Amino acid sequence: MPSPAAPTTGGAGLHLARRIAAWAIGLVLLTGTATALGVALYPTVTGGQALAVLSGSMTPGLPVGGMVFTRPVDPATVEVGDVITFAHPSNQAALVTHRVVAVDVSAGEPAFTTKGDANEDPDRLPVPASAVRGELVFDVPQVGRLVALLHSTKGVGVLVVLVCGLLAVSPGGRPEDDAPTAAPLPDGVDADPDGVDADSARTVVMAPVLDEPGTLLVRATRPPVPVPSRQVRLLD
């Protein structure tokens, strides 16, 4: 009986290449989705803020394109050396993240002198306690660029292309799953390597037996054969 056809080496290699490509695209999609979800949930979970770094005033510690994550802070606990996020004195909607270089408590309420690590001079105006929005917890380089891309029209287009690419390179089933299989044998047929049914290969031996004088009976050894009821008389 012919054996099932084995998958070709080329088919297996193509299947592996498509699987690797699908894994790579899936990893990119998973990373981008997880990052966007984490940035979106951070303020809700911690009460802080996730802010993209747009200028180089805090380089090299906070490079452009990174993202800073802050938490609420009591201005009375802020000390020299802390990095705080505050509303810009001339534009309350703009947030600045700089390092505290001096604290003035002469007026009762603390006021902070801040400076960017990359700047030569401190900021011109002091920061009142009411303008403080939080303190730096940690930062992640380049995440700001990724988040900005995901929230843009171009980013949505990239996601659509990646999803379509994932569907296109999906490898599907293994090559061996498509290999032809042998048809089932009928009931009662024993598969034999030489293609011969073992039951049909048995030899049937017929032996004449004289039961009575002048009577010839035929007896089968195997398989049993019905014995005719008619007797055969021998001629004297």
For the residues of 121-166, what is the DSSP string, one character each? S--SSPEEGGGEEEEEEEEETTHHHHHHHHTSHHHHHHHHHHHHHH
Statement to judge: residues 16 and 76 lie in one domain: yes
- CA 139 – CA 148 distance, rounded (Å): 16
Query: Could you tell me whether strands 132-140 and 67-71 are parallel, antiparallel, or unpaired per DSSP bridges?
Result: antiparallel
Q: Do both 83 and 172 map to the same domain?
A: yes
In a domain, 187, yes or no: no
- Per-residue pLDDT tens digits for 4-61: 545 456 678 787 888 888 888 888 888 888 888 889 899 999 999 999 999 999 999 9
Backbone torsions φ then ψ of 50, nearest 5 degrees:
-115, 115
220 and 170 inside one domain: no
Chain segment 92-137, per-residue pLDDT in tens:
889 999 999 999 998 889 999 999 999 999 999 999 999 999 999 9
Residues 30 and 137 grouped into a single domain: yes
Any domain includes 190: no
Q: Count up the domains in the chain and report the number.
A: 2
**Is 84 contained in some domain?**
yes
Residue 198 belongs to a domain: no
d(CA 58, CA 42) in angstroms, rounded, equals 22
CATH number for the domain harbouring residue 104: 2.10.109.10
The domain in which residue 210 lies consists of 203-236
The H or E element containing residue 93 is strand 91-104
Asked whether residue 31 is assigned to any structural domain, the reply reads yes
